[in-house]
Amino acid sequence: MGIHAIAELIHDGDLLPSQLLESCLDRIDAREPAVGAWEVLDVEGARVQAKELDDRPPTGPLHGVPVGVKDIIDVAGLPTRCGSPVRGGAPAAQDAWIVRRLREAGAVIVGKTVTTEFAYFTPGKTRNPHDVERTPGGSSSGSAAAVADRMVPLALGTQTAASTTRPAAYCGVAGLVLPPGHLDDSGITGLSPTLDSMGFLTRSVPDLQLVAAGLLGMDRAPGLDHAPALRICAAEQFGEVEPAMREGLASSVAALHNSGAVVDRLAPEAAPGSLVQAHLDIMAVEAAQSLAAETGQVSPSLQALLDQGRATSEAAYRRAIDHARRQRDAVTEQLRGFDAILAPAAPGPAPVGMPTGSPVFSRPWQVMGLTSVAVPGLRDTDGMPLGLQVIGRPDDVPRLLAVAEWIERVLARAVTG
């Protein structure tokens, strides 16, 4: 069940939070050995939370909803290991701000989900629930897998490069990435302050809308009264796209156009490909500062990033920041008269093996500080998920979610019709 259905059942008295939790725990018991989505479970703590909620009237759409929390986000009483043996097992003294908001909204914290090492590339144990020989993506690996495998209907992620949109695409779920700095990040182990964002993973875009309203207090935009106007970011602008994604994007554009959407290509001067290096330079410099104490104790890939950051000059760092700002202005200009940009969320379906895949399709939007929504619904010929993302201005998240919800509905009709 998604959050919409859960909220209705709990509100009508047809489902208790404790009953919902036990069904989730049964699913975790059955599937966790194969999927490996969880770093640590707090079964008894979750049962106490759910039982307390049984006796309270529902106060919102997240009342009794079981949630997984990415293991770079503090949960009081549970360790925050950040996917690294460097971090010990000492429990966090208090909840991160976003976890406090979850509890206030009535959510039940089930445990901590697996992350890649310090939310960078080195993978954990999690596998893709659609095919356990494939990666779930990263760095919010466990969060996306847990939602996709129906272990929980909602999980927290984060994003510095593609850490929510890519696993959402590979696992076939919906993901919301808020602009960097949009929410209080206290209690979260960050990698790059300029780039770090909060992410949310659910089974559908309407569920993301409920999260934005019930957890973040955002007004829910009304359903679109007309088809949106979309700028299409052609996949070849990134240079590394697989045939399945190229075909999926083309068929999606056709379906959206046939449903009334105005579609136009993103102009070359706003092409995001040039921002990939700028993103990497900023991330490397800031990661070297954020993880200075861990130097020499991390994986070779993360150590290489820290070394690159220390070798990058202040002038190069400033050029990257300035370039991102100029490109953001160009993209914002391209959005005049348009509702959003549509682009791939990943080069193709989840690759075989544990490496988490390429982040190239999300780096540019992230470094520009835009909002993105990963939209599920497409599949390749093997039945593996393909993900698109809808990108928009940082100042109107509800409107972007409404556009993404319209796109999700159109694509669902196209796939089933």
pLDDT tens across the length of the chain (417 residues): 899 999 999 999 999 999 999 999 999 999 999 999 999 999 999 999 999 999 999 988 999 999 999 999 999 999 999 999 999 889 999 999 999 999 999 999 999 999 999 999 999 999 999 999 999 999 999 999 999 999 999 999 999 999 999 999 999 999 999 999 999 999 999 999 999 999 999 999 999 999 999 999 898 877 787 899 998 886 556 667 899 999 999 999 999 999 999 999 887 767 677 899 999 999 999 999 999 999 889 999 999 999 999 999 999 999 999 999 999 998 988 888 899 999 999 999 999 999 999 999 999 999 999 999 999 999 999 999 999 999 999 999 999 999 999 999 999 998 776
Q: What pLDDT is stored for residue 234 in this prediction? A: 64
- Of the residues 18, 140, 143, 163, only one is catalytic, namely 163
Rg (CA), the chain: 20
Q: Where in the chain is the domain with CATH 3.90.1300.10?
A: 3-214
Dmax of the chain from CA atoms? 61
What phi and psi, each to the nearest 5 degrees, are found at residue 139? Answer: -95, -10
Q: Are residues 88 and 35 in contact, defined by beta-carbon separation less than 8 angstroms?
A: no
* CA 127 to chain CA mean position, Å: 17
Q: What pLDDT is stored for residue 242 in this prediction? A: 93
pTM score: 0.97
274 among known catalytic residues:
no
186 among known catalytic residues:
no
Question: Does domain 3-214 correspond to CATH entry 3.90.1300.10?
Answer: yes
Token duo for residue 161: 């490069």
d(CA 136, CA 355) in angstroms, rounded, equals: 9
Q: What pLDDT is stored for residue 39 in this prediction? A: 99
- Of the residues 18, 84, 139, 252, only one is catalytic, namely 139
70 among known catalytic residues:
yes
